Amino acid sequence: MSVLAVFAAIAIALIPRGREQAERMKCRDCLKALGQAPRIFADDHGGKFPYGATNSLAFTNETAAWLHYTAMWQEIIAPIPLACPADRGRYTNRADFFTTSRTITNEAGEIVRFTSSREGSGASLRALNEIQNRGVSYFIALETDAASHPSALLMGDRDLSTNTASVRGNVLAFGSSNPPSWTSLIHRDGGNLLFVDGSVEWTTTSQLHQRVATNGVANNRLLMPW
């Protein structure tokens, strides 16, 4: 095999890794931008996140992750996607969810047809109301107060395995003794997490377990977009 052929083979082998790294970074940037929305929302609602704000669409809601994002729609600045670019099959553009005409089965099992829209965020909000969790990659923690646990999990990639964690409906509950682990559904070897203080970290499973053990939250409750 020639030297050029060897270099070509190496370059081809590195392409998937390069794409994965780029998707991780885009996912991180997306979460960082999305993280501004709950803090702005809390500033306008007495320090409460949508789950804890009595006048919120998502007040005490523990079934629909997408509804929490709908509640913060005014605070989510376009074009922040609600889906990770590595999450195949989920839509990745908030300002214009649908770039071509297509059909999708919503959570009620109904076939819905969409076409490319240029109507801005209003059209996207209607689309999210239709496709619901199928347009969202990120869990949202059922935290009520923006100041209660700055190092608590707030959002993150949805590819968490349950392990021994408790699952009730769409809520994943766990503590330091039974934390979940990352799967390879979205990313390889880890996932991105957004914390209440606005910081974003890429974590492996062992790092995730360490953060859960030290975040000061006895009972983490994550609403998953499953």
- Mean per-residue pLDDT, 81-91: 78
**pLDDT, tens digit, 9 for 90 and up, residues 117-127:** 333 445 466 66
The single-letter code of the amino acid at 16 is: P
Task: Measure the N-to-C terminal CA separation of the chain; round to a whole number of Å.
Answer: 48
Q: Quick one: which of 44, 46, 73 has its CA closest to 58?
A: 73
Q: Quick one: which of 58, 31, 35 has its CA closest to 144?
A: 58
pTM of the predicted structure, to 2 decimals: 0.78
**pLDDT, tens digit, 9 for 90 and up, residues 159-203:** 998 777 778 778 999 988 899 999 988 998 899 999 999 999 999
95 close to 117: Cβ distance less than 8 angstroms: no
- Mean per-residue pLDDT, 1-22: 56
* Cβ density class 73-100: b for 16+ within 10 Å, e for less: bebbeeebbbbbbbbeebbbbbbbbbee
- Banded model confidence at residue 28, pLDDT cuts 50, 70, 90: very high
Rounded CA-CA distance 85/77 in Å is 18
